[in-house]
């Protein structure tokens, strides 16, 4: 009897051990993914995993999400240098990979072009290329953008920016892996001050744009959309009143006379987009001339080209 009990116990132990090996094979974690040796990194990771510290990138998982999937850049219209007043602005830059983390970005607009200084969270990348890795391998060395350390020792890159809110290909050279990794960046316009955007103008040409007029008694109105002419960056709108009785408009302290002598009163005045433009209009419809205050606003979202460059 004692021998039988010993045999049964041995069988139970053997079955238990076999089940344990089946549930958790050697070299895998509970999720079924192969376990990596300690300190090993993913192919897309230029540095071993480390704790977050200034100048270091603690993000270690591969992320191939398109920037537009996690930001509103997909619905935001492109913004070009000509649409932003010259100056330097802090902006956000989204990346298709969490391995390429930008902790600060300063956009400079000057002479009709834009550049951005990108401060990286880590030190694993030695150079950038504005394009794909395949293009970088075929291009010249002097087309690469080298890293530069700032006063705090952080790695920075100064890159050209074609437009904000557009997906831009960028290849990053991993110092550790000695290879290019493709990234997609979006330079976002959300942090650009509104007055910096409205200070700019579209390219020279003829446009139509919807206008809103407030003020006065509400009986008079202007034609909308109205004609807009852009020349050398300056915008001039043709204002056509619903009455022939306006003889003068005063905008910014400057007086403007009608440009015709027949039909409804028509003026040409300087304007800006998406900006409240107060002005005074003199009417002779009453027993004596009266100056009436109005506010004009042109909606940039409705701007449509309608002619050749003047």
DSSP codes, 191-231: TS-HHHHHT----SEEEEE-EEEEESSSS--B-SSEEEEEE
pTM value is 0.50
- Chosen domain end from 131, 163, 195: 195
Is residue 184's pLDDT more than 50?
A: yes
- Cα 206 to Cα 201: distance, rounded to the nearest angstrom: 12
pLDDT band at 187 (very low <50, low <70, confident <90, very high): very high
**Residues 92, 160: one domain?**
yes
Instruction: State CA 151 to chain mean position distance.
Output: 27
Residue 243 pLDDT: 93
**Residue 139 is part of a domain; what is its CATH number?**
2.60.40.1850
Q: Is residue 9 part of a domain?
A: no
Residues with Cβ within 8 Å of 18's Cβ and at least 6 positions away in sequence, in order, are: none
- Cα 233 to Cα 299: distance, rounded to the nearest angstrom: 17
Do 179 and 193 meet the contact criterion of CB atoms below 8 Å apart?
A: no
Q: Is residue 20 part of a domain?
A: no
Q: What are phi and psi of 253, to 5 degrees?
A: 80, 0
- Chosen domain end from 163, 195, 227: 195
Using one digit for the tens of pLDDT, what is the confidence trace for 241-300? 999 999 999 998 899 999 998 999 999 999 988 888 999 999 998 889 999 999 999 998
**Residues 184, 257: one domain?**
no
Q: Is residue 33 part of a domain?
A: no
Residue 9 pLDDT: 65
**Residues 150, 257: one domain?**
no
Q: Is residue 246 part of a domain?
A: yes
Number of domains in the chain: 2
pLDDT-wise least confident of 41-50, 95-104, 260-269: 41-50
**Residues 154, 77: one domain?**
yes
- Cα 285 to Cα 263: distance, rounded to the nearest angstrom: 14
**Residues 162, 85: one domain?**
yes
Domain that includes residue 236, residue range: 201-307
Q: Where are the alpha helices (DSSP H) in the chain?
A: 2-23, 67-70, 133-138, 194-198
């Amino acid at each position: 009897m004692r021998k039988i009990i010993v045999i049964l116990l041995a069988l139970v132990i053997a079955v238990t051990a076999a089940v344990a090996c089946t549930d958790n094979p050697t070299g895998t974690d509970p999720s079924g993914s192969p376990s990596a040796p300690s300190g090993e990194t993913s192919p897309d990771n230029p540095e071993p995993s480390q704790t977050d510290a200034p100048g270091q990138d603690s993000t270690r998982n591969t992320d191939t999400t398109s920037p537009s999937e996690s930001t509103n850049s997909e619905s935001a219209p492109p913004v070009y240098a000509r649409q932003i007043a010259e100056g330097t602005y802090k902006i956000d830059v989204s990346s298709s990979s969490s391995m390429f983390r930008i902790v600060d970005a300063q956009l400079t607009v000057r002479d009709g072009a834009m550049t951005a200084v990108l401060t990286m969270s880590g030190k694993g990348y030695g150079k950038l290329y504005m394009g794909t890795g395949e293009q970088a391998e075929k291009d010249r060395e002097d087309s690469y953008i080298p890293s530069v350390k700032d006063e705090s020792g952080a790695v920075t890159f100064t890159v050209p920016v074609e437009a904000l809110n557009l997906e831009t290909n960028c290849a990053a050279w991993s110092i550790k892996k000695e290879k290019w990794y493709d990234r997609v960046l979006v330079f976002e316009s959300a942090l650009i001050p509104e007055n910096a955007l409205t200070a700019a103008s579209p390219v020279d040409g003829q446009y139509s744009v919807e206008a809103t007029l407030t003020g006065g008694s509400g009986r008079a109105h202007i034609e909308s959309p109205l004609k807009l002419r852009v020349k050398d960056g300056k915008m001039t709108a043709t204002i056509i009143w619903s009455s022939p009785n306006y003889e003068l408009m005063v905008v910014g302290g400057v007086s403007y006379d009608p440009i015709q002598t027949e039909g409804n009163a028509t003026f040409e005045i300087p304007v800006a987009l998406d900006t409240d433009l107060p002005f005074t209009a003199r009417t002779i419809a009453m027993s004596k001339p009266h100056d009436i205050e109005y506010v004009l606003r042109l909606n940039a979202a409705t701007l449509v080209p309608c002619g050749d460059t003047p």
